[in-house]
Structure 1
Amino acid sequence: MNALVAALDALFADPNVGRDAVYTPAGGGPVDVRIVPRRGDAISEFGDARVWSETIRLDVRVSEVAEPRPGDGFEIDGEACVIQGEPVRDRERLVWTIELRPA
C-alpha cells in the first residue's frame, strides 16, 4: 500500500496534473489542498430526452479531506464551487471523487 500512496502523492504533486485549491467545510475554516481536476461534460438520460450539462469533478486525497459533504465548498483558480451529491471514495479508500456546481 505504501507504494500506491507514494504514487498518488507524486501524481497530486505534479504541476502538470495536480492543482492547488481551497476546501471549506460547511461551518468550518478554509484548508489548502491539492486536487486533480476532471472537467468533462456529462450527458444524462431523462425519459426519452438527453440533457447535456457541464460538470466539474475533482479528485482529492482522503488524507487531506477526511469527510467531504454536500454543501461544502472548493475554490479553484478563483472559482467558488459547492459539492453536490455524495462524494465517492476509490477502491483503496485513498481518493475522493467529488462533483461540484458553481456557487
Structure 2
Amino acid sequence: MQPMPVFAAAMDRIFATPSMGAAAVWISATTSQERPIRVIRRAPDRITEFGAARFVSDTMMVDVRLSDLSDPRSGDLIVIGTDSFIIQGEPIRDRERLIWTLDLGPS
C-alpha cells in the first residue's frame, strides 16, 4: 500500500514541530555509521504480570520516520541530547509504512 502524499506531508510537519519532535543521532551497531534523525519520544508505563503480582515499569519508546532511518536494528544506538539508548527488540512499522516504533533501553 502506497501512503497518501498528504498524510506523509502531515507526518513530516509533526516531526519538524519543536514541541513534538526532537533531534537525535542514530549510530549503527555493526558499521558505526551515524545519521541525524528526528524522533518523537514516548514513555508509557508497562504492566508485567508475574503470578498474582503486577509490576509497573517505565519504558522509553521513540517514533522515527522511515525517510530518516530505513533499516534500524536491535543493538543500534539512539542518542537524544546527552542520553544514549540501545534499540531493544524488533523495530515495528506502522500500517502506512511511514513510521518506525523503537523500544529503547539505557545504554
Place the TM-score, normalised by the shorter chain, in its bin: over 0.9
2:73 maps to which residue? Answer: 69
Q: Does 1:36 align with 2:36?
A: no
Moved more, 23-32 or 12-21: 23-32
**Pairing 1:22–2:25 present:** yes
Runs of 4+ in 1 over 4 A off after TM superposition: none
With the length of structure 2 as denominator, give the TM-score of the two structures: 0.91
User: Which residue number corresponds to residue 57 of structure 2?
Assistant: 53
Question: RMSD of the alignment, in Å?
Answer: 1.0
> Which sections of structure 1, spanning at least 5 residues, go unmatched?
none
How far off is 1:29 after superposition?
Answer: 1.7
Name the SS of the counterpart of 1:22 in structure 2: strand
Partner SS, residue 51 of structure 1: strand
Write the distance in 2 (CA, Å) between the matches of 1:6 and 1:32.
Answer: 19
Correspondence 1:13 to 2:9: no
Distance between the aligned counterparts of 2:6 and 2:92, measured in 1?
22
Identity level (%): 45
| Secondary structure in structure 2 of the residue aligned to 1:28 | coil
For structure 2, the residue ranges without an aligned partner over 5 or more in a row are none
In 1, the alpha carbon distance for the partners of 2:28 and 2:51 equals 35
Q: Cα offset for 1:48?
A: 2.5
Whole-Å separation in 2 of the counterparts to 1:63 and 1:71: 20
Q: Which moved further from structure 2: 27-36 or 1-10?
A: 27-36
How far residue 43 of structure 1 moved from its aligned partner, in angstroms, is 1.2
What secondary structure is seen at the aligned counterpart in 2 of 1:4?
Answer: helix
The Cα shift of 1:71 comes to: 0.3
Cα distance, 1:46 vs structure 2: 2.6
Counterparts of 1:49 and 1:68 in 2: how far apart (Å)? 34
